Amino acid sequence: MKQTLAHGGWHSWISAADVAQTATRPGDLIVDGLDVYVSESRPKEAGRAAIVKLWPARPLPAPQEVLPPPFSARSRVHEYGGGAFSVRGGNLVFVNDSDQALYLRGPGERPRRLSPLLSGGQRRFAEPVIDALRERVLCVVEEHLDAGREPENVIAAVGFGSRTGRFEVLFSGQHFYASLRLSPDGKRLAWLSWRHPRMPWDGTELWVVELDPRGLPRAPERIAGGTSESVFQPEWDTQGGLFFISDRSGYWNLYRWDSSGTKPLCPRPADFGVPQWVFGLSTYCLLPDGDLLCCLTENGTWRLARRSHTTGDLRILDLPYTEYGSLRAAPGGAVLLVASPTASTTLMHFDIQTEQLSSLRGFGTWTAASDTSPSEGAARFSQPVAIEYPTSDGARAHGLFYPPLNPDYQGPSDERPPLLVRCHGGPTSQATTGLSLRTQYWTSRGFALLEVNYRGSSGYGRAYRDALRGQWGVAEVEDCIAGALYLAHRGLVDRSRLCISGGSAGGYTSLMALTLHDVFAAGAIYYGVSDLSALARDTHKFESRYLDGLVGPYPEMKALYAERSPLYHMDRLRRPVAFFHGAQDKVTPPNQATAIVAAIDRKGLPVAFLSFPEEGHGFRHAETIRRTLDGEYYFYCRIFGITPLSAPEPIEIRNLGASSQRT
The reply to whether 505 and 654 lie within a common domain is yes
The reply to whether 441 and 493 lie within a common domain is yes
Q: First CA to last CA across the chain, in angstroms?
A: 29
> Does 98 have pLDDT greater than 50?
yes
The reply to whether 575 and 551 lie within a common domain is yes
For residue range 345-364, what is the model confidence (pLDDT) as tens digits? 999 999 999 999 999 988 87
Strand order in the sheet with 343-351: 323-330, 333-340, 343-351, 357-362
* Three-class SS state of 571: helix
386 backbone dihedrals φ, ψ, rounded to 5°? -70, 130
The reply to whether 298 and 276 lie within a common domain is no
Task: Among 262, 280, 298, give the residue marking a domain's end.
Answer: 280
The reply to whether 389 and 257 lie within a common domain is no
Whether residue 643 contacts residue 652, with contact meaning beta carbons closer than 8 Å, is answered with no
Residue 564 DSSP one-character state: T
Q: Is pLDDT larger for residue 47 or for residue 151? A: 151
The per-residue b/e assignment along 256-293, b for 16 or more CB within 10 angstroms, e otherwise, is: bbeeeeeeebbeeebbbbbbbbbbbbbbbbbbeeebbb
Average pLDDT over residues 68-95: 96
Look at residues 343, 417, 349, 413 and name the one whose alpha carbon lies nearest to residue 380: 343
DSSP string, 594-655: HHHHHHHHHHT--EEEEEETT-BSB---HHHHHHHHHHHHHHHHHHHT---SSPPPP---BT
Domain that holds residue 207: 174-280
C-alpha torsion sign, points 144, 146, 147, 150: negative
The reply to whether 499 and 573 lie within a common domain is yes
Bond into 197 cis (ω within 30): yes
Q: 46 pLDDT band (50/70/90 cuts)?
A: confident
Residue 141 lies in a domain: no
Residue 258 lies in a domain: yes
Quote the strand ranges of 6-45, DSSP E: 25-32, 35-42
What is the distance between the alpha carbons of residues 280 and 277, in angstroms, rounded to a whole number?
10
pTM of structure: 0.93
Q: Which amino acid is it at 240?
A: G
> Does 537 have pLDDT greater than 80?
yes
What is the distance between the alpha carbons of residues 223 and 231, in angstroms, rounded to a whole number?
10
What is the distance between the alpha carbons of residues 359 and 338, in angstroms, rounded to a whole number?
10
What is the distance between the alpha carbons of residues 237 and 309, in angstroms, rounded to a whole number?
12
Residue 71 lies in a domain: no
For residue range 463-501, what is the model confidence (pLDDT) as tens digits? 999 999 999 999 999 999 999 999 999 999 999 999 999
Q: 119 pLDDT band (50/70/90 cuts)?
A: low
The reply to whether 485 and 600 lie within a common domain is yes
Whether residue 581 contacts residue 616, with contact meaning beta carbons closer than 8 Å, is answered with no
Mean pLDDT over each residue of the chain, to the nearest integer: 93
Q: 658 pLDDT band (50/70/90 cuts)?
A: very low
The reply to whether 286 and 248 lie within a common domain is no
Q: Of 211-215, 373-377, 445-449, 469-473, where does mean pLDDT reach its minimum? A: 373-377
Beta bridge partners of residue 137, listed in sequence order: 130, 158
Residue 26 lies in a domain: no
The reply to whether 630 and 653 lie within a common domain is yes
Whether residue 627 contacts residue 619, with contact meaning beta carbons closer than 8 Å, is answered with no
Residue 507 lies in a domain: yes
What is the distance between the alpha carbons of residues 513 and 155, in angstroms, rounded to a whole number?
42
Number of structural domains, the chain? 3
Look at residues 445, 442, 315, 425 and name the one whose alpha carbon lies nearest to residue 10: 445
Look at residues 3, 5, 23, 25 and name the one whose alpha carbon lies nearest to residue 15: 23
What is the distance between the alpha carbons of residues 168 and 163, in angstroms, rounded to a whole number?
11
What is the distance between the alpha carbons of residues 392 and 411, in angstroms, rounded to a whole number?
33
* Three-class SS state of 339: strand
Residue 66 lies in a domain: no
The reply to whether 184 and 305 lie within a common domain is no
Task: Among 259, 280, 301, give the residue marking a domain's end.
Answer: 280
The reply to whether 421 and 533 lie within a common domain is yes
Average pLDDT over residues 559-580: 96
Residue 9 DSSP one-character state: -
What is the distance between the alpha carbons of residues 645 and 203, in angstroms, rounded to a whole number?
52
Look at residues 410, 471, 468, 412 and name the one whose alpha carbon lies nearest to residue 443: 410
For residue range 631-648, what is the model confidence (pLDDT) as tens digits? 999 999 999 999 999 989
Q: 610 pLDDT band (50/70/90 cuts)?
A: very high
Look at residues 474, 323, 338, 337 and name the one whose alpha carbon lies nearest to residue 393: 474
Task: Among 280, 313, 341, give the residue marking a domain's end.
Answer: 280
Average pLDDT over residues 179-203: 97
For residue range 349-404, what is the model confidence (pLDDT) as tens digits? 999 999 999 999 888 765 444 445 555 656 889 999 999 999 999 999 999 999 99
Tally the residues of the chain: 663
Q: Which residue pairs from 48-54 have beta carbons closer than 8 angstroms and sit at least 24 positions apart in sequence? A: 48/72, 48/97, 49/73, 49/74, 49/84, 49/97, 51/85, 51/92, 51/94, 52/361, 54/347, 54/360, 54/361
Residue 93 lies in a domain: no
For residue range 262-307, what is the model confidence (pLDDT) as tens digits? 999 999 999 999 999 999 999 999 999 999 999 999 988 899 999 9
Residue 199 lies in a domain: yes
Give every CB contact of residue 9 below 8 A, 6+ residues apart in sequence. Answer: 445, 446, 637, 642, 643, 644, 645
Quote the strand ranges of 259-395, DSSP E: 261-264, 284-286, 292-298, 301-307, 314-316, 323-330, 333-340, 343-351, 357-362, 385-390
Looking at residue 616, which CATH number applies to its domain? 3.40.50.1820
The per-residue b/e assignment along 376-407, b for 16 or more CB within 10 angstroms, e otherwise, is: ebeebbbbbeebebebeeeeebbbbbbbbbbe
C-alpha torsion sign, points 396, 399, 404, 405: positive
Looking at residue 226, which CATH number applies to its domain? 2.120.10.30
299 backbone dihedrals φ, ψ, rounded to 5°? 55, 40
Half-sphere exposure at residue 491, Cβ-oriented, CA atoms within 13 angstroms: 3
The reply to whether 287 and 269 lie within a common domain is no
